A and B are shown apart, each in its own frame.
Chain A
């Protein structure tokens, strides 16, 4: 498998009122060509920040303090690139809120055509045709008519399709999706997931899919990276990570997925406590204060991802504690 995109040792710092926090701390990710990498974690884990750093879209005050971005080139090698240069050329992004991520004063067709023309020189009418064709491809009914619409005239699901068409217009190799279905209701959510999966296969696109919902990861991703408090704590192929988690945090996430077969008397388990504030990350393993398997040495643990099974890495220094309990059948 060739690697489409690799993020190496990315750190993001934010300085505000003299205090510096590091919401993304030494994060490395890689996604293979044509694959979908799921990036999961609770709110505040630094998922969006990681994606934004890849495109150089960090908010005011935030900056990348270390890290390297490598993109697969036409020559077949990985080349280090600058985030701003990949906008419109290689990487594009689908945002979480379709209600606010489309320019309200621009027609749908122009929004998409902008992307096509940003990617390569083409005439207005050519860009227009491309936009209408893309609207059809992402499943917008009556694309010629809908092309003339303003964003506010469309439903949330249609807007997200337009957003996807906008991202595809730049003919990216890698699509970054930041919780693209969180704002949608469940049936529409399924349709959008299906659409993303289809365009990934048809176009040989690589996707990094951010979500806090492991059930969604199981649906769309081949690989997964679990983030906690600014760090990646577990990575690997989807099934092993979900079925035989090697990190108590992943395990806790897995057991909190609502299953249809959970009896009414069995309360849905959620993770005890709240994720830590980036201004106040605990020492050692950052999950240790909430971890049911924590040992005294966890607070001194160095953060290293160790391969425990094929391609399956964990930062937990006591993965054997988890292995001793059966994950399966204990929701």
Chain B
């Protein structure tokens, strides 16, 4: 069975998970206290008006019927419409996805560029003061809540120094990079410590390995030794970790987008939850879930390509 079959089977395997997620989001919103029709209609609405809204939203039907209707729409790419703006949820998502993708992409690149050199350095000097210093600093950032770090960065570098905009996105790539810099850095500071510790221990494993000694014994050194003997062996664990961290990063995006007033999916999520705009909440949850599943699948494929011992079956 080739790689294609492997991917196909993994995608099929994800279907029950997706069904579970739709059920979960559906049930979760049933548990939220308050009646969306009442909220929407406002305090002075008549009984008939509330009934009409309820009917419009399909809330008068039985729960299973509501769920089946929901999944049916979903399969046609119809995520419903916002009860606030009346906009289709898909267009809200389409509009807001780029911001979040930019944010997460930049955060990922930044965090890896902090974690890899520092992790390698800590591994090389393990047990020494540099190793301890790196550990203390990274533990510090791990325990700092991202909204607080974001606020501090905002105060110092945006409001104080004025190097970055206080909020919002931009049109040109340069504007976007500037807009994304502080929020991405905030996220990166939050997620790099775990990457660093993981990469450090991978490097220590490789460094103490018999095969590295064997590679050295035949005269391999420097960049050649690094490329052929260290790189692949030290990165497989990192790829898996990054995929796992995606879930955290989406949660982080919710916080950071709010802090920096970025109109991404996370921000839309927060607004939708507080406005009881449940079609939007469901839609974004599903996008997040699909993204996490897809990224984990991609990570599995990459790891299988990096490490031949991982059987693709």
Question: Chain A residues in contact with chain B, CB under 8 A?
Answer: 52, 55, 57, 87-89, 92-93, 95, 97, 100-106, 110, 114-115, 118-119, 150, 152, 163, 166-167, 169-170
Asked whether B306 lies within 8 Å of A102 as measured between CB atoms, the reply is no
| B residues less than 8 Å from A100 (CB atoms) | 209-211
Query: Hey, which chain B residues are within 8 Å of A103, CB to CB?
Result: 211-212, 214-215, 228-229, 233
The stretch that binds A, out of B27-35, B149-157, B217-225, B254-262, is B217-225
Measured between beta carbons, the chain A residues less than 8 angstroms from B215 are 103, 114
Question: A100 CA to B309 CA in the complex, in Å?
Answer: 13
**Do A118 and B309 have beta carbons less than 8 Å apart?**
no
Find out whether the CB atom of A93 lies under 8 angstroms from the CB atom of B217.
Answer: yes
Residue pair B229, A166 in contact (C-beta under 8 Å)? no
Supply 11 further A-B pairs (C-beta < 8 A) apart from A57-B216, A97-B210, A105-B308: A55-B217, A100-B211, A101-B213, A103-B212, A104-B211, A104-B308, A119-B218, A119-B219, A150-B309, A152-B308, A167-B217
Could you tell me the distance in whole angstroms from the C-beta of B265 to the nearest C-beta in chain A? 37
Q: Is B307 located at the chain interface by the 8 A CB criterion?
A: yes
Chain B residues, CB < 8 A from A89: 219
Main secondary structure of the interface of B (DSSP, over half): helix
**Which secondary structure dominates chain A's binding surface?**
loop
Q: Which of B211, B214, B228, B233 counts the most chain A CB atoms within 10 A? A: B214
- A170: which B residues are within 8 A, CB to CB? 218-219
Q: Is there contact, CB below 8 Å, between A57 and B308?
A: no
B156 to chain A, nearest CB (A): 41
Residues of B in contact (CB 8 Å), total 20
* Interchain CA distance A52-B308 in the complex, whole Å: 29
Q: A105 contacts B219, CB within 8 Å?
A: no
Whole-angstrom CA separation of A12 from B283 in the bound complex: 66
CA distance A163 to B151 in the complex (A): 57
Residues of A within 8 A of B214 (CB): 93, 95, 101-103, 163, 166
Contacts of B229 in A (CB 8 A): 103, 106
**Residues on B with beta carbons closer than 8 Å to the beta carbon of A110:** 228
- Chain A residue nearest to B311 (CB atoms) is A152
Known: A88-B218, A169-B218. A104 touches B233 (CB 8 A): yes
B232 at interface by CB-CB < 8 Å:
yes
Complex alpha-carbon distance, A139 and B276, angstroms: 73
A114 close to B218 (CB less than 8 A): yes
Residues of A within 8 A of B220 (CB): 88, 114, 118
Tell me, rounded to whole Å, the shortest Cβ–Cβ distance linking B28 to chain A. 43
Chain B contacts with A in 220-252, Cβ cutoff 8 A: 220, 228-229, 232-233
Bound Cα distance from A95 to B212, whole angstroms: 11
Instruction: Report chain A residues within 8 Å CB of B218.
Output: 87-88, 92, 114-115, 118-119, 166-167, 169-170
Residue among B209, B211, B212, B220 with max Cβ neighbours from chain A (10 Å): B211
B186-230 interface with A by 8 A CB criterion: 209-220, 228-229
